[in-house]
Structures are given as C-alpha cells and as structure tokens.
C-alpha cells in the first residue's frame, strides 16, 4: 500500500500537541518564579518586624503554595478538561458558592481581616474561596454557554448564565471585596458576549449590576473613588507612595532589594502594590519585562482558545484569559495611579496562596486543552481548517 504523504505531517502535529503548549508552560513558570523573587524583596522588612525577625517568612509561605500550584498545574494538563463541562463543573461551582455563603452569613465564627470576611480556616491555614469561585464560574459558564449560542439573543436565554455571574460576583462583593466582585462580573459578561449575546442587552444588565454595586459600597470605598475623581492634586496616601516608588525607579531601577518604599512607606507592598516595588527596584526595564511575560501568557491562552476543537474548550480558554488579563490590567492601573485603589493582586506575582493556586489551576486546564488535536486536515492542497464560533469571530 502506498503511504499517505500527509502521514508525517499529521504525526509531527500529533507529537507536538501531545506535549502541549510549551510557551505557555514556561511562560507561566518563569513569571511565577519572578513573583517569588519579588515577594521576598517586597516582604523582607515585614517579616523582620512582624514575624519574629524571619525575613523569609512570606517567601516560605508563598513557596509552599507555589509548589502546590505547580503540582496541580502539571496534573491538570494531563487530564481532559472536558470532564468539567457537565455536572462536575456545576458541583465545583456550587461547592464554592456554599463556601462564600458560609463566609458572609454568621453561621460559623470566622476571624475578620480589616473588617472583611474573606478567608475560610482550613486546618492550620486559611483559604480565600472567592479566588477559586472566579475560576469555577468560568468553567461553569463555558459548559453552560457552549450549547446555547442562538438562545443568547433572547432575555430567556441570558437568564441562566447571567444568574451564575450575578450570584458569584454578588457574594464576592458582599464579603466585602467590591473590586474583585466587579472584576468577576466584568469577566463573566465579556465571556457571555464572546459566546454570542447582544451587546445592548449585556450593557443594560451591566448598568443594573453597577447600581447594585453602588448599594453595597461602603463609606471608605466611596471616599477612595471620590478622591480619585475629584480632579485635585491630592492623592490618597497609598496612591501617592506608589507613584513615588515607580518614579524613583527611573529606567533601570535602584536594584533588587534596594527599594525604600517597602520599609513601611507603601502599605501592602507584597500584595496590592507589588508592581510599585518592581518599578522602584527594577525600573522601567523591569516593568516592561514583566508586562512582556504577562502578555506572552495571555496571548498563548487566547491562541489555544482560537485553535480549540470544541466550543467548550474555546470558551474555557477565553474565559480564563479574560480573567488573567483584567486582573493584571487593574493591578497595573492602580499602581500607575490611573485607577482608584483596589485589592486585586497581580496574577502569579503578588503574595497570596489562594490567588496563586487558583490561577495555576486555570492555566493547567488551558494547558490540557493545548494537548488535544485542534485541527483536521482537509483534502491535499486545501490546507487546514480552524473551527470558529461566535467568540472566535469576535476576536478575529
């Protein structure tokens, strides 16, 4: 029998896809390794004064979570993410909604952190369910939206996916964590739009969601927003110190470990303002490198979504990519003083075990999608065909 001249090409394609997207894998590992370096640099002073003189305290904690996250990422990349498209995805999302309800309702005694109930004690540690609920929402939405493209053009078809987004974002905002709740709602609505919903319906629902957020907002949140939009030169203390840190870094920075703002001038330098420490110590060059790595990770996520062989895989990749991109943009906007102060960490960089592990889980699912065959060869001379749904057309 005469061998098919397409067999070597198909075999090479299959071998490459069996390994998955190596650019995304190495980009994730390098970006998270940079995060470990910056966590130590930004938190060493806090460890010396508040953790018994142990300047490695926060690094040790983050390193344990990093190891757990990498292990989960490598495990998830070897399974079929389509297993989450059905009941398992709903069970995952439902369990995390219950965890958010436990936090908000006075069912069990939970220690408040700065007047918020965001952390659920588990064993000797604690976990932030909202970070995992955001990822579970994307998984649930991808399964829900993958079979109702035409129905999204009606109010009845929008009811279920909007309810999933509204319940998740509303419970997160009620902790209270308004900025993360709004980020969750924005990413959910964007995914519904990419799935085929009309813009004007989602815009109207977005206005209603914004009105609900205004009702839940607290006095200090109003004060932050009012000060930012007042048009005066007086910035909040955090914003001023962030601006001072990035400005003093210049092009090349002061050098790793040589920044000054982390010595109790800039609040939360290892979490909410870690990008400011990067700008001070690594300068503009360091920020550009960090933004470049982040852009690489996001671009590979969307590339995997565009080349996916099923609509669920496409929407899952797009949803995780949107969440990653919005979180990075919002954190950068706050540190660069072009947005009011929020509490959203920079993905894979900021200190915080729940956010780190949750993003690793999402990226592991995307990597599992990259290990599946995404394109089917047509007749010789025709080339290759990429399936393209409403999300693919809107991003092209």
Q: Which residues contact 308 (CB under 8 A, 6 or more apart)?
A: 314, 317, 369, 372, 374, 387
> Cα–Cα distance between 279 and 346 in angstroms, integer?
14
- 266 in Cβ contact with 273 (< 8 Å): yes
Mean pLDDT of the chain: 85
For the chain, what are the domain ranges?
Answer: 20-395
Residue 331 has pLDDT above 90, yes or no: yes
Q: Which residues contact 360 (CB under 8 A, 6 or more apart)?
A: 28, 32, 69, 70, 72, 73, 348
Instruction: Check: pTM over 0.75? Answer yes or no.
Output: yes
β-bridge mates for residue 122, sequence order: 125
> What is the rounded end-to-end Cα distance, in angstroms, of the chain?
42
pLDDT tens-place string over residues 107-150: 777 777 777 788 888 876 789 999 999 999 999 999 999 877 77
pLDDT tens-place string over residues 153-172: 888 889 999 999 999 999 99
Mean pLDDT of the 366-392 span: 55
pLDDT tens-place string over residues 142-156: 999 987 777 888 888
What is the per-residue pLDDT for 104?
A: 87
**Which tokens go with 327?**
């979180």
3-state secondary structure of 12: helix
């Amino acid at each position: 029998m005469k061998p098919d001249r397409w067999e070597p090409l198909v075999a090479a394609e299959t071998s490459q896809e069996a390994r998955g997207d190596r650019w995304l894998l190495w980009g994730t590992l390098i970006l998270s390794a940079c995060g470990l370096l910056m966590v130590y640099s930004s938190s060493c002073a806090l460890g010396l004064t508040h953790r018994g003189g142990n300047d490695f305290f926060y690094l040790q904690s983050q390193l344990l979570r990093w190891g757990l996250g990498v292990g989960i990422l490598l495990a998830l990349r070897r399974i079929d993410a389509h297993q989450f498209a059905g009941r398992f995805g709903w069970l995952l999302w439902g369990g995390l909604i219950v965890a958010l309800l436990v936090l908000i309702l006075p069912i069990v005694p939970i220690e408040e952190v700065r007047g918020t109930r965001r952390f659920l004690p588990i064993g000797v540690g604690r976990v932030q369910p909202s970070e995992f609920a955001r990822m579970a929402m994307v998984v649930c939405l991808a399964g829900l939206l993958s079979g109702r493209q035409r129905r999204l053009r009606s109010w009845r078809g929008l009811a279920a996916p909007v309810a999933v987004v509204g319940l998740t974002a509303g419970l997160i905002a009620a902790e209270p964590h308004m900025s993360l709740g709004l980020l969750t709602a924005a990413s959910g609505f964007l995914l519904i739009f990419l799935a085929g919903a009309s813009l004007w319906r989602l815009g109207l629902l977005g206005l209603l969601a914004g009105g609900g957020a205004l009702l839940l907002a607290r006095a200090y949140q109003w004060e932050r927003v009012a000060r930012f939009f007042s048009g005066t030169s007086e910035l909040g203390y955090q914003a001023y110190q962030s601006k001072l840190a990035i400005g003093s870094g210049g092009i090349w920075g002061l050098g790793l470990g040589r920044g000054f703002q982390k010595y109790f001038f800039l609040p939360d330098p290892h979490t909410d303002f870690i990008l400011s420490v990067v700008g001070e110590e690594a300068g503009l060059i360091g920020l550009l490198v960090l933004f470049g790595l982040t852009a690489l990770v996001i671009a590979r996520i969307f590339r995997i979504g565009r080349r996916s062989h099923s609509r669920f895989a496409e929407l899952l990749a797009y949803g995780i990519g949107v969440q990653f991109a919005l979180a990075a943009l919002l954190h950068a906007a706050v540190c660069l003083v072009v947005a009011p102060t929020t509490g959203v960490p920079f993905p894979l960089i900021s200190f915080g075990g729940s956010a780190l592990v949750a993003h690793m889980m999402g990226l592991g699912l995307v990597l599992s999608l990259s290990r599946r065959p995404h394109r089917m060869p047509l007749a010789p001379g025709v080339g290759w065909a990429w399936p393209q749904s409403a999300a693919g057309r809107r991003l092209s």
